[in-house]
Structure 1
């Protein structure tokens, strides 16, 4: 392909920094016709993150061919930026030695993220292809629970003894070629390798060489236990505005560090995960295999089908009441639907508050009281509107009073369920984002029908 045949590679991104469709098509066409050189020229200007996006945008059946065509650009940084499902597909097209070479280019945490999702046989093959030091570090990381600080941390850090001077530290940083090059602070340790403080690089650069590190360092620091859940790690970074933090084992010894760039990914992943769990959409990734998405979603729908039997049973019990006044059948969904929306609002606020540690045992009662007051105010407003509307539309003040009262009661019940269900699940160590919506929806539907039809019956409206 001549230079004139190539598209304008200076504009492969649109105004939102997304790869343009015509650029993606040009790369796919080059790969299809076996013109690897043209494909490499097209992707040459791309940042590793944009190159990872390219793999996500091309059809699944072309990813292996694209990986082979631009193998020189497919480095560890690109692999680390890829979507998990896409990365798995690309790795399947590589040999164990190639995967090991890519993993060796990365910090431990990124290498672990690549290797941990391989099946056992592939994982062993990749580990065997690594050099002994890298293999030992990654095997140690894999021994920690998934989504823990041990999996997340990187072992590449700088630690110096407290008795050193600033000059000693500077000489050490300049002389040791194997030290990591990406760090924001130095960890200061005692003879047992336990962290006793931290020293920012800016402090070292602005301090005379003769000053002791112990006189410059900050002794107050946030230590992360190696088995801490990654969501709790993210909350600590957010709460204390951390850039990096030391990770310690059970004996308090320094074993690694976590940096803010890793935490940004966690916050994004956890927020998206909770939203998708509330909807029952599984991982909700458009690159997830169809069969996996089907299995995740159909379980949720079957569960909803079972819980929907209770509202249906309640409606059946009031069949005679509905037969006497068919208008009730038209108004029932309004009561249940508004209650469901009110419950979902409260549930979303509660689940988020639990996830961010805003809601704890210390303020549970206050939170419940707050939500009940809001539910009462919302219920009264909506009840007044629907009661007045029904009275005017049907010319039946009694029917308006019944639906208004039912709406008020159901919105209050929905508010209580929206906060009580997630709290209860959380107390039993169940993820409130997973099952809350099922129980809240069942409660608002069932109680909506029961209250509305029950009030219609006892009030003599259908008599």
Structure 2
């Protein structure tokens, strides 16, 4: 792919800082800083001014104001304006709508803009991006559009994209860059330095080089700082570090992010099934994955779909309504239990007032345990070696919580209704339901994980059904068993 050349900064140049998207930001004062608030977000008045200029046909004035922004901020501008204003804004920007801007853009917003471009334009944009960013743009296109874009690309670029698309979604193969520096073990440091200076086809940004054997399998890595501090006549094999973290090409991106986090990696080699070096993943790519995966499980627990405010309404509706229908089905279980004790409730109306308290507190206790368990599973903190310890830990916590809440609820109920027996019943029901909630909150996601199912997707439905059903059953059943009421 085409590589952008960049010159070294002068010796006294200020040190660059990194923004939350992993891009360099010049610390020197920028005109664009007046358009950003204290949280580095575009000010609402700036967004309104730009749209007013576009609507008034003052294209040059709009381009001048937008041109002072960082590509990541231009991407934010597109996400902040309405769907109706985005095509006009893209038209005004013209060639300022660069590949870097598209690479930073929300995927739903980007899809809408890509639909406005001809396949040749998309191909040209993709050719200027690193492979992973180009794949992110092309993979979301419809099959016919995708093929049209690939046909318009240069053979070398098309081959790289097609290879990446052959790997599973959200895998290391989709995430990796194919631009890296690899050298043989026997070459000298001087040879490496000369190549880095002379080869214009090398990637622009990298932190280490990979040392490979004759079969192109990685045998070590060498940071650029080590190369610069080593005499030219020393073999690279004497400088490199042989221990390295290798990423299988089909590894899930969440597992990739966990490895980067665990071993504090800046970059890592990606290998195919034969162990050959085929790409590299860098920390700036992983930062996005960590952010996505961190929110993904929480959104799945709530059934909110992607949880993206730029997601089309139809897709959001489809994701959420399925979840609500499933909840409706499980709610019928709890409803049927209440129906079994209809006569008891008629004889003692206070039961109807207290039932939601038992179920609600149990549900919250189950949600607490569920959230902790799903996070532990996602972070690989919960495995076969400590799963039983985690279960017993949650049982202890549930008993402590149950005892505390039971004492408070039982005392308050006994005093409010002047009925010690009713206070004892709700106290016992609280202990039972919070205990069940603790066990269900850890056991259900563990079971789903053992069955190779995503525990974040279905756990909350089953935990809610369990706590509601057991809460009603324990409370109403104990009320009948104690003689407070009859069926």
TM-score, scaled relative to structure 2: 0.93
Q: CA deviation at 1:64?
A: 1.3
Deviations 1:54-74 (A, max 9, x none): 000111011111111102211
Q: Answer yes or no: is 1:94 the counterpart of 2:117.
A: yes
1:276 to 299, 324, 341: 299
Q: CA deviation at 1:217?
A: 0.2
Deviations 1:94-121 (A, max 9, x none): 1111111111111000000010000011
SS class of match (2:50): helix
1:109 to 129, 132, 139: 132
2:376 to 347, 353, 369: 353
1:128 corresponds to which residue?
151
1:451 to 474, 477, 485: 474
Within 1, Cα distance between the matches of 2:327 and 2:221?
A: 52
2:283 corresponds to which residue?
260
Correspondence 1:180-259 to 2 at 5 A: 180-259=203-282
Q: CA deviation at 1:33?
A: 2.3
1:73 to 81, 91, 96: 96
Give structure 1 regions of 4+ aligned residues with deviation exceeding 3 angstroms: none
Deviations 1:154-210 (A, max 9, x none): 000000000001001001101101100100000000111000000000000011111
SS class of match (2:183): strand
SS class of match (1:16): coil
Number of corresponding residues: 456
Deviations 1:243-302 (A, max 9, x none): 000000010000000000111100100111111100011111111111111111111111
SS class of match (2:187): coil
Q: Answer yes or no: is 1:19 the counterpart of 2:42.
A: yes
2:342 corresponds to which residue?
319
Q: CA deviation at 1:132?
A: 1.1
> Do the aligned residues in 1 keep the contact of 2:270 with 2:281 (CA within 8 Å)?
yes
SS class of match (1:258): strand
Within 1, Cα distance between the matches of 2:186 and 2:101?
A: 41
Within 2, Cα distance between the matches of 1:33 and 1:143?
A: 46
SS class of match (2:95): coil
2:67 corresponds to which residue?
44
Within 2, Cα distance between the matches of 1:294 and 1:460?
A: 48
Correspondence 1:295-310 to 2 at 5 A: 295-310=318-333
Q: CA deviation at 1:35?
A: 2.2
1:370 to 393, 407, 411: 393
Within 2, Cα distance between the matches of 1:28 and 1:99?
A: 25
Structure 2: any 5+ residue segments left out of the alignment?
1-30
Within 2, Cα distance between the matches of 1:34 and 1:101?
A: 28
Within 2, Cα distance between the matches of 1:352 and 1:104?
A: 38
> Do the aligned residues in 1 keep the contact of 2:185 with 2:213 (CA within 8 Å)?
yes
Q: CA deviation at 1:37?
A: 1.0
1:165 corresponds to which residue?
188
TM-score, scaled relative to structure 1: 0.97
Correspondence 1:363-442 to 2 at 5 A: 363-442=386-465
> Do the aligned residues in 1 keep the contact of 2:32 with 2:69 (CA within 8 Å)?
no
> Do the aligned residues in 1 keep the contact of 2:114 with 2:122 (CA within 8 Å)?
yes
Within 2, Cα distance between the matches of 1:292 and 1:172?
A: 50
Within 2, Cα distance between the matches of 1:11 and 1:181?
A: 31
Correspondence 1:337-348 to 2 at 5 A: 337-348=360-371
SS class of match (1:255): strand
1:58 corresponds to which residue?
81
Name the Cα RMSD after superposition: 0.9
Q: Answer yes or no: is 1:30 the counterpart of 2:53.
A: yes
2:197 to 167, 174, 177: 174
Structure 1: any 5+ residue segments left out of the alignment?
1-7
Cα separation, partners in 2 of 1:363 and 1:55, compared to 1, 3 Å: same
Within 1, Cα distance between the matches of 2:354 and 2:327?
A: 23
